[in-house]
Amino acid sequence: MLDINAFSNQYEVRLIKDTDVRQIYMFCRQNVLYYQYCPPFATEDSIRKDMAALPPKKTADDKYYVGYFDRHGLAAILDLILEYPNKDTAFIGFFMTDASIQNKGIGSTIITDLCAYLSGIGISYIRLGWVKGNPQAEHFWHKNGFEETGITCETDGYTVIVAQRAL
Ligand SMILES: CC(C)(COP(=O)(O)OP(=O)(O)OC[C@H]1O[C@@H](n2cnc3c(N)ncnc32)[C@H](O)[C@@H]1OP(=O)(O)O)[C@@H](O)C(=O)NCCC(=O)NCCS
């Protein structure tokens, strides 16, 4: 069981609840570029599905779908899966910052703090994927120390580049 309060030094982090779905939808719909590369566009239903979605052989206990809040509201959303695809690795299924506060280093600070916390509890790697060709996602994850593993996943209409950072 992770201590989600320790994910961030600056934000209050808490699990997203069903009553937050409307707010999450309003948040996601500002990030138009993301859905151009990773369609379809978000709906309240697709958000509910993402909140429950699990990789093979994982259970709800392994999943942390959290929001980062401050006095201005929701700053970021993170979907983290523990011990996937192996015991030493945590998997980021989704990460998004508020479109109105992007390019100010906030996403990088959140990921830096998360890496420090996960490293401190003995996790060795963080793995994630971005849609091939999405310049924003690729630049951001490279900037934060993630490197391509050479693995790609083909889905309907786009290719996912799998990347990893050693902690
Ligand atoms: C990717 C994301 C999380 C970054 O959050 P952020 O708070 O803006 O992060 P930072 O400010 O720390 O870094 C943003 C970097 O992306 C760069 N960037 C922004 N838009 C870009 C674009 N269209 N093309 C290339 N780079 C871009 C910025 O210049 C900055 O890099 P720099 O510091 O070297 O100049 C945010 O843009 C987002 O939520 N995007 C939509 C969702 C998404 O793509 N999530 C990741 C895939 S799972």
Q: Where do the domains of the chain lie? A: 4-120
pLDDT of 25-80, one tens digit each?
A: 999 999 999 999 999 999 999 999 999 999 999 999 999 999 999 999 999 999 99
CA of 70 to the centre of ligand 1 (A): 20
Q: Measured from the CB, is residue 104 less than 6 Å from ligand 1? A: yes
Q: Measured from the CB, is residue 149 less than 6 Å from ligand 1? A: no
Asked if residue 11 lies in contact with residue 68, where contact means CB atoms within 8 angstroms, the answer is yes
Residues of the chain with pLDDT > 70: what percent? 100
Per-residue pLDDT, averaged over 106-124, amounts to 98
Closest CA to 118 of 35, 110, 54, 100: 110
Tell me the pairing of strands 89-97 and 12-15.
unpaired
Q: Measured from the CB, is residue 102 less than 6 Å from ligand 1? A: yes
Asked if residue 125 lies in contact with residue 135, where contact means CB atoms within 8 angstroms, the answer is no
pLDDT band at 156 (very low <50, low <70, confident <90, very high): confident
99's CB contacts (< 8 A; 6+ apart) are 30, 31
Fold exhibited by the domain 4-120: Aminopeptidase (3.40.630)
